[in-house]
Structure 1
Amino acid sequence: MKTITEQLDELHSEWKNRLMGQNYIEDGIINEQAWRAPGLKIMVLLKEPNSTDWGWEYQDFLLRRGYLEEKSSTWPNLLRWTYGILHGFPSYKEVEEQFHCIKQNSLDFFGSVCFANLKKIAGTSSANDHELIQFSDISHPLILKQISILEPNIVLCCGSIVFDLVKKSLEKEQIQFERKHTSGGLERLWWNHKRINIVRYFHPLAYIPKEISYTYLINEIKEIV
């Protein structure tokens, strides 16, 4: 039986061929052993890589902790969100008090997180939704295959368009799912066969106070899992 890493390698080769190699940036897990360990697994699905170059892998970016050099609020929010979900849903105040240590020790829990992009081609800090739709039309079965290989408990879609395109892909492939809402109104899809929650959420750069975006997400995910 093939490992998760081998399956993802084959998937990325297929994806590159379908896109004829254009500026492709791989993403996936950083440690298969950690990913297979008991506990919650989160796939954070973003729009596209913010990069002017290509030929690099998201896993290497994470392993060298390149996210600590980022100046936007994207990665600080992603750190807060994923840490909170994986560590018993602490309050925002608790997370902020420990945030320096959380950042410095983030690789300790990133083994249970897969950061991936819907569009695997290098883009800019402001994603073009029309390009995202075009990319999804070309390769929509492959993002579902990536989710299927990983089998996370939660796919956190960062941005409504990401969620909508995953939903559209499920519909195109005639995959059964249920549309649900938490008591706080958070929308999710329940992929019946795979037992995966696909969650609609804000992009980490959305104009929402970080304490509100953290607290709302944590409370609603706690209800789901």
Structure 2
Amino acid sequence: MNIRLILLFYAFQFLLSIHANGQDYNKELDKFYETYREKMKKDGKINSDKDFSIDGLLLRPAGENKGGKESSYWKNSSLRVLLLLKDNNGNDGYHNSRNYERVNNNFGRNIAAWIYGLFEIYNKGKKPSLTAAYDVYNQEKSFTERPFAIINIKKKVGKERVSDNEIKDYANAYCKEISKEICVLKPNVIICCGGKGGAVLNYAKDIILSKYSFDKKGSHGLIYYCKTRNLMLIRAYHPSFIASKDKMYTYLMEDFLECVSLLKKQSNNIENE
């Protein structure tokens, strides 16, 4: 067969695969991050690209043959969970949230329990027990196979500790950029992690997504729901925080079980700006 025809055939197959896979969320974020980084450089917040936290969908599949299917996993999932964190505290400079797959520390174990519990409730209508949620097999499978995303409010990496006031300053300074990240991903559940008195949830609700109206829901008051956008904010501890499993998992899941029917009544309608 003519070499030119072979090349045309493979080019056509490549275009077909792009069309089949549809939107590539991380690539959209990468393009947006070019301007986001430049703004932070001009503001004196970062010195180089490697100081900027790359966030978005965690790569799927995880493991040795990492990545390539995260967008299709996300697009085809009725439940799209985003974790909104204070910052990426990797103190080794360049840090990429998409590569994270450790389940053997407090941070990873609690995230895995949340992901497992939320998907089980959404798909089966039952709250998994603590034993099931923290089971090693369930955690590994949920953490490395379920689609979810991470966004850090403070994009500059390298500090092990950061104050709530500093995070609030970043939320105010870059609320449009953070809102844009959320608009690209279009989650229907955002777990707002940490901060004294639910600070991260308050920054999300009152600053980053302030144009939306949220109603408090759930017996424990951990759910904030926007009906017009079919978007649910969940107040949670930071996943690395040491607390009882009831505080870290049970109360959150009980409230989600009470309110999950709200998500199923309409499609997600977050505006793309």
Q: Normalising to structure 1: TM-score of the pair?
A: 0.84
1:28 equivalent in structure 2: 56
The aligned residue for residue 189 of structure 2 is 154
The 1:2/1:39 distance shift into structure 2, 3 A limit, reads closer
* Within-5 A mapping of 1:118-129: 118-129=153-164
Matches within 5 A, 1:91-130: 91-96=129-134, 99-105=135-141, 106-109=143-146, 112-130=147-165
SS across alignment from 1:156: strand
Report SS of the residue matched to 1:148.
helix
**Structure 2 residue 32 is matched with structure 1 residue 11:** yes
The answer (yes or no) to whether the contact 2:89–2:160 under 8 Å persists in 1 is: yes
Equivalent residues in 2 for 1:138-153 (5 A)?
138-153=173-188
In structure 2, give the amino acid aligned to 1:10. K
Please give the secondary structure, in 2, of the residue aligned with 1:199.
strand
User: What do residues 95-139 of structure 1 show as CA deviations (whole Å, max 9, x unaligned)?
Assistant: 23xx22134333111xx2112211111143332222212212221
In 2, the alpha carbon distance for the partners of 1:4 and 1:121 equals 21
Could you report, residue by residue, the CA deviation over 1:40-59 in whole angstroms, capped at 9, with x for unpaired residues?
11001111112112333111
Q: 1:179 to 1:132 in 2, by over 3 A?
A: same
Judged with a 3 Å threshold, the aligned counterparts in structure 2 of structure 1 residues 92 and 182 are, in CA distance, closer, same or farther, namely: same
Distance 1:113 1:171 in 2: 20
- Other structure's SS at 2:154 match: coil
**Structure 1 ranges of 4+ moved more than 3 A:** none
Relative to structure 1, is the Cα distance of residues 207 and 107 closer, same or farther in structure 2, using a 3 angstrom cutoff?
closer
Q: Give the match for residue 256 of structure 2.
A: 221
Task: Work out the number of aligned pairs and report it.
Answer: 212
CA deviation vs aligned residue, 1:140-160 (integer Å, no higher than 9, x gap): 111111111111110010122
CA–CA separation in structure 2 for the residues paired with 1:139 and 1:191:
25
Instruction: Name the CA shift for 1:170/1:124 in 2 (closer, same or farther; >3 Å).
Output: closer
1:188 aligns with 2:224: yes
**Displacement after TM superposition at 1:171 (Å):** 6.4
In structure 1, C-alpha distance between the alignment counterparts of 2:231 and 2:82, rounded to whole Å: 10
Question: Residues 77 and 210 of structure 1 are in contact (CA less than 8 Å); yes or no, is this contact kept in structure 2?
Answer: no
Between the two structures, name the one with larger relative contact order (CA 8 Å, sep ≥ 6): 1
Identity across matched positions, percent: 23
Tell me if structure 1 keeps the 8 A contact 2:116–2:139: no
Q: Which has the larger radius of gyration?
A: 2
Q: Is the alpha carbon distance of 1:58 and 1:93 closer, same or farther for their aligned partners in structure 2, counting shifts above 3 Å?
A: same
Gaps of at least 5 residues in structure 2 are 1-21, 60-69, 122-126, 261-273
Structure 1 pair 9/171, CA: closer, same or farther in 2 (3 Å)?
closer
5+ residue gaps in structure 1? none
Pairwise CA distance, 1:218? 0.9
Find 1:75's aligned residue among 97, 108, 122: 108
What is the DSSP-based 3-state SS (H/G/I as helix, E as strand, rest coil) of the residue aligned with 1:118? strand
Q: Distance in 1 between matches of 2:164 and 2:133?
A: 33
Asked if 2 retains the 8 angstrom alpha-carbon contact of 1:170 and 1:176, the reply is no
